[in-house]
Amino acid sequence: MKILHTSDWHVGKVLKGQSRAEEHKAVLAGVIDIARAEQPDLVIVAGDLYDTAAPTSEATRLVTRALTALRRTDADVVAIGGNHDNGPALDALRPWAEAAGITLRGGVRENPDEHVIDGVTASGERWQLAALPFLSQRYAVRALEMYELTAAEANQTYADHLGRVLGRLTEGFTEPDRVHLVTAHLTVTGATTGGGERDAHTVLGYAVPATVFPATAHYVALGHLHRAQRVIGPCPVRYSGSPLAVDFGEQENVPSVTLVEVTASTAARVREVPVTAASALRTVRGTLAQLAEIEAPDAWLRVYVREQPRAGLREEVQELLPRALEIRIDPELLAAPGTGARIAQRSGRSPRELFADYLDSRGHADEGVRELFDELFEEVDH
């Protein structure tokens, strides 16, 4: 069977005030084109379909149309909720999804069998997929209680909980003539973050070892980390990464989807297919004179300016580089020796003196800013 594995679409993403809606349309059209060309038997979307738990109607329409188009390639389609998604809201779409022939699992259900999906390809290959949406620490404990496993103890770790839940979902991975698959939205220890993930759900407390996956699995399709990568484990474990760079921390990532070919008796063969529809994200740095000389790339830009802060600097940079979404004083310049040497002492100092010391410590020499502060302070103080 052939599997198309994708994740972390983050539809509805706004980057520094810039909507990515048109890029998302092009990116998902590219994913659909790949599905039409490759004719997979199964498409797995491993979470974070949306960027926010309260997506707009436009974002919802784009996601549902993309899932429908993927289903129309004659592939089975399974999508799970991620940490950015609203699990109950996704589950509310299940009647629509089932009518369209799409399997949607937004959150963990009381019956674990609902998370074990069986299928057969057109060529007769039988497969079984354990589909685990994102679980917060609190709901990991609740899932254990729902599944009537050993009582969850307060001192158990998140990894313990996830390992036991996955063990319950994959306990049927014993038949030798069936392809056994897992999809989940989580962080595996040792994997590399992509640069734009939500920190709260990538910290060590949320990381699980790859040993939570059974050796009998033919392939594990993960979402959550935005960089496409293989993870060492007892079976083939892989993140597909995001099909577009979500934030500037991901500018070195290669957006792609993953294609997998596997049978019940042969190892998974994996290849990445790039998705190039979205604008690249790039960082440029220099003085105003240097920025004026560069040939601006066709990308959204983060600009590190090697100038002392002053009023109007942002506007000057924006005029030079209209696609600049983030403009900051170069951190290397701010960290240079001497720029932070003066530390304001609070005792006995006036607000004007403290503010002046702050400006000096940041290398900000614009007298107009000091005068504006004086005017505002005078107005508030009287």
Q: Are both 173 and 242 inside the same structural domain? A: yes
* H or E stretch at 274: strand 266-274
Contact between 284 and 290 under an 8 Å Cβ cutoff? The reply is no
Cβ atoms within 10 Å of 46's Cβ, excluding its own? 31
Domain range enclosing 325: 279-334
CATH code assigned at 58: 3.60.21.10
Confidence of residue 141 (pLDDT cuts 50, 70, 90): low
Q: Are both 240 and 364 inside the same structural domain? A: no
Answer with the one of 299, 317, 334 that is the final residue of a domain.
334
Q: For strand 280-286 and strand 299-305, is the pairing parallel, antiparallel, or unpaired?
A: parallel
Report the DSSP beta bridge partners of residue 287. none
Contact between 58 and 28 under an 8 Å Cβ cutoff? The reply is no
Q: Are both 262 and 365 inside the same structural domain? A: no
The pLDDT tens digits of the residues spanning 40-76 come to 999 999 999 999 999 999 999 999 999 999 999 999 9
Q: Are both 87 and 115 inside the same structural domain? A: yes
Report the Cα 260 to chain-centroid distance in Å.
21
Contact between 188 and 208 under an 8 Å Cβ cutoff? The reply is yes
pLDDT at 172: 93
Assign 110 to helix, strand or coil: coil
Q: Are both 116 and 196 inside the same structural domain? A: yes
Reply yes or no on whether the pLDDT at 365 is more than 70. no
Q: Please, what is the end-to-end C-alpha distance for the chain in angstroms?
A: 76
The pLDDT tens digits of the residues spanning 288-298 come to 999 999 888 88
* H or E stretch at 280: strand 280-286
Confidence of residue 155 (pLDDT cuts 50, 70, 90): very low
**pLDDT, the chain, mean:** 88
pLDDT at 376: 81
Q: Are both 220 and 357 inside the same structural domain? A: no
Q: Are both 168 and 241 inside the same structural domain? A: yes
Q: Are both 295 and 377 inside the same structural domain? A: no
| Nearest in space to 309 (alpha carbons), one of 248, 370, 351, 350 | 370
* Rg of the chain on CA atoms, in Å: 25
Confidence of residue 109 (pLDDT cuts 50, 70, 90): confident
Lowest mean pLDDT among 92-101, 266-275, 295-304: 295-304
Q: Are both 229 and 124 inside the same structural domain? A: yes
The pLDDT tens digits of the residues spanning 238-286 come to 999 999 999 999 999 999 999 999 999 999 999 999 999 999 999 999 9
CA 288 to CA 316: how far, in whole Å? Answer: 8
Q: Are both 153 and 190 inside the same structural domain? A: yes
What's the whole-number mean pLDDT along residues 88-116?
94
| Structure tokens given for 371 | 């005068």
User: Which amino acid belongs to residue 188?
Assistant: V
How many domains does the chain divide into? 3
Answer with the one of 319, 334, 349 that is the final residue of a domain.
334
| Structure tokens given for 74 | 């004659």
Q: Are both 37 and 66 inside the same structural domain? A: yes
Q: Are both 50 and 154 inside the same structural domain? A: yes
